[in-house]
Structures are given as structure tokens and as C-alpha cells.
Amino acid sequence: MADTHVRTRNAPSPTGTPHIGNTRTALYDYLIAKKYGGEFLLRIEDTDAKRFVEGSIEKIYAIHEFLGLTRDEDPLIGGPYGPYIQSERLKYYQEYAQLLLDMGAAYYCFCSEERLKKLHEDNQFAKYDRHCRHLTKGEVQDQLDSGAPYVIRTKLPETGFTVWHDLVQGKLSLPNTECDDKVLIKTNGVPTYHLAVVVDDHLMKVSHVLRGVEWMASTPIHLFLYESLGWKPPILAHVPLLLGTDRSKLAKRHGAKNVLQFAEEGYLPEAINNFLFYLGFSYKDNSELLTLSQMAEIFDETKIQRQNAIFDVKRLDYLNGQWIKRLSSEDLLSRLKTFISADWLAQKEKVIQVLNLTKERMLTLAEFAPAADYFFNIPILSQELVLAQSNHTQEETKAWFDTAITVINKMTVILANAGIHPENSFTSENLHTELAKAQVDSGFTPKEAFMSLRVGISGRTVTPPLFDCMVILGKDETLKRLSSVFP
């Protein structure tokens, strides 16, 4: 491999937002390119206009951008081997199809759609019967002259095996009889995948082709084309599929999401990259937090798993939670923009303070807003809820609240840079000391005392540490909420 300059490509079809499995392959492509100091390119395979979905290409860019898979060559920035959209490369395909025709590695086929259909009606697994393969030169010319529609097919060997070494699958050997003479150029003059990939990968000097195992069976066709054209084939790597929990190919009915949807749900690109990385590759305990460049260093394309992998979102959750904890609150804030209101966004300092408390209990970014709501909006503070926690009568609980209010009232608010720290300043530490003292004399257990106060300021039983929450709320707001419970 030292003798070949490494160039990998992600070559999706614009038929919708790429599937998570395609994205994993793109990640691996990117890592291989970076590992060897090569280039990572994007090529759009839009040879089937019927299946084109508006906006797909933008989604592909969006996924790359979100994940940080920067491209060296693509339809936007161009590159030395452009264009990078197959529909703009038709002349190349025609040229090489003609060459194939001339050398006898391909032939014209005039079979009608009906005839082909009949073939499959008789046998659903029927291959093309090579009806036009043995037409004489004259017969072909006559058809051509008459303007009959035609396709161009490969003239595959009728015997023997195609053998190659696959980077992930190892030595592979497929009987040539299993492949039929696939169409290379369709009636409309547009190539099929088989011709287009081969021509483009060669012309774009792609060194490694990573693709799903579903392409394994048609590899003999591609290799035949490389050989006929006298080209050196790239290194092939057929990567396994991603499966749903029922072990069938991951699909919409499994609720399979694409990367953009995970982003919307508050998953970090770092976590998604790590998750995808470990799904099919092993390093240490498979849960280390790794940056893209660290992954590129570690990745070994020869050690990609051969088994299909089941997508387990629990692992993604774990990785995401770990990344959220690791990131600074300032960094997190910048990623929170689509998850919180402009109103909150305007209170940057406060959001950061809340983030400091909540980030270790968040699995996704989307969990922030609901978990932090009572810091920004006054919650419903119900007496019933407080009483349920205090485990005392209404009067006793009111007395405890009054005590707490008195204690807090005595505390002074110190401005951030005042520099002085009186012992009874309004800090988490002092709140803890003073309220704990008061609790001892209250006849309440710590749990009863503090859980009731927790509900008294937040309206809920689950929050970050009580005193930290009070500090963020501020003395006035804390008092106001506490006083409102027992008017």
C-alpha cells in the first residue's frame, strides 16, 4: 500500500438522506484517507434520474459537515478529476463503452422490455439469456441503422471464477456463471452503476473502494471491466450491514434514523462518530472517547469486522452522555441553539451555570430544556407536592418553610467580584451549613426537610443539588418561591 497514494470516496446516490450504514462507510473512508495522508472525495451517483429526490445532495453535505468529515474534492469545491457528479460525466462513459464494444468486451443488445419481462416471468431467478451476444456484425449494423433502441451489455466470461482479495472479506471466489451480461449503458444513453463506478474510480484515482456487502456479488463484473480496459483495480473492501434488533437489514420500520435525525434529537457528532467507529471496529474497550484524528490514527482498515452489526442505541446514549460531560459548558451552549428558546439564549451566563449542574445528568442535548425549565420559568408550586415530601402536617411544614426563609433572609448576596466573603453570604456552601443547622432543630429528617424545599423551589422531586439550584435562582427568587407555597 506504500506504493499507492491513498484516495477514498463517498459515493452516495441522491435518493434521499443517506442511511446510517452509508454514513459509517463514509466515516471509514474519511479515516483511511486521513490515516495515510490522502484525499477524501465525494461523488454523486445520480445515474438514475427517476429516483432522484430533491434536496438529497444538501443532506449529504449536511451530514459531512455535522460529523466533520471534510472533503478534499467534491462537486462544490471541484478538484483535478471533476466533475464529481455522474450526470455531468456522460461523455466518459460513452467513450469507454465504445472502447469496450470495440475490443469485444461488450455488445449491443436490442431485446425488448417485454422479452426480458417474459424471461423473468418464466423464472424469477432467470439471468439474461444472452440472446444478442452472438449477433453478427451485419445484424447489429442493420438494427443500428434502423434506429432500434439498444443497450450495451458486458460480455462476461462464460466459465471460470473471478478471484480477488477483499480487504475485509479476505479471499473471495465467485463463479462467473453466476453473473449475467449486465447492462452498462441504458437505452437512454446513461450508464448503470456498474460502468460508472469503474470508470470514475479509475479516472479519479481512487485507491480504496469501501461499499456494502450487497455489492459483493457484482464485483466480478467490475473486475472484468477493469481488466478489459487494462486498468489496475482499486483495493476493495466490502463492509457488513447494519441490522435492526430483529436481525434484519436496518430499515425505516425499525425506526432507523439518519444522522441528521440523531442531530435533531440532541446527539453530538463526536458521539455519533465514536459509535459508528466502534460498530464494526474494535479498540481497547470499545468505549473510549476519540476525536476524528485519534480515530484516524488508530483505525486499521484490515480489521473491519465481517459480521453484520446490530444497532444498539443504548451505546450511543452512553457515548453521548460521556461527551456531554467532557465538553465545556461554553461549548455545549453553542450547540444548544436549536434546543432552547431565544429568551434563554439571551441569558448566557445563567444557561452556563445551569449547564454546569445538568450536563452530568444529560444523555442528549434535547434533555436540557425540560430539565432546566424551572430555572427560567416559574413552575407550579403545589402545597400537596411539598407536603408529600415533608411527611409532616401543613402547619409543621409551613413552620419549617418559615424557618428556612428566615435563615436565607439573613444571608447577603455578594456580587461576583466584590472580593469579600462574609460567612453568611448566599453561597451553596453557606446555605448547606445554615439550613442543615436549622433542620436539626426542626424535627424534620434531612430528607424531609430538603426534599420539601426542593419541591418548594422547583416543583419537582428530581433536580440537581438543592443549594446549587438556590444559588442559580438567586436569593430573591428563592425566597419568592418559598414564600408562595404557604401564603
Partner RNA sequence: GGCCCCGUCGUCUAGUGGUUAGGACGUCAGGUUUUCAUCCUGAAUAUCGCGGGUUCGAGUCCCGCCGGGGUCACCA
Q: Do residues 412 and 405 make contact, with C-beta atoms less than 8 angstroms apart? A: no
What crossing angle do the helices spanning 466-473 and 368-376 adopt, rounded to 10°? 60
* Dihedral of alpha carbons 378, 381, 385, 390, sign: positive
Dist. CA 120–CA 372, nearest whole Å: 61
Produce one character per residue of 422-439: b if its CB has 16 or more CB atoms within 10 Å, e if not: eeebbbeebbbebbeebb
Dist. CA 158–CA 170, nearest whole Å: 25
Task: Report the DSSP beta bridge partners of residue 39.
Answer: 7
* Dihedral of alpha carbons 294, 298, 303, 309, sign: negative
**Element spanning 229, H or E:** helix 219-229
Residue whose C-alpha cell reads 483505525 in the numeric block = 299
Q: Do residues 430 and 424 make contact, with C-beta atoms less than 8 angstroms apart? A: yes
Which of 420, 436, 418 has its CA nearest to residue 428? 436
Cell (9 digits) for 392: 409532616
**Could you give the C-alpha distances from 421 to 208, 417, 477, in angstroms and in order?**
64, 10, 21
Cα–Cα–Cα angle for 70, 74, 76, nearest 5°?
A: 100
* Dihedral of alpha carbons 138, 144, 150, 152, sign: positive
Nearer to RNA, 28 or 346 (CB): 28
Task: Report the DSSP beta bridge partners of residue 74.
Answer: 78
Residue whose C-alpha cell reads 446555605 in the numeric block = 431
Write the CB contacts of 244 (distance below 8 Å, at least 6 apart in sequence): 250, 251, 253, 254, 256, 310, 311
Active site positions, annotated: 252
In one-letter notation, the amino acid at residue 221 is I
Compute the half-sphere exposure of residue 100: CA atoms within 13 Å on the CB side of its CA.
30
Q: Do residues 296 and 38 make contact, with C-beta atoms less than 8 angstroms apart? A: no
DSSP per position, 187-225: TTS-B-HHHHHHHHHHHTT--EEEEEGGGGGGHHHHHHH
CB 98 to RNA: min, Å: 17
- Helix ranges (DSSP H) in 36-132: 56-67, 90-102, 113-122
Cis peptide leading into residue 464 (ω within 30°): no
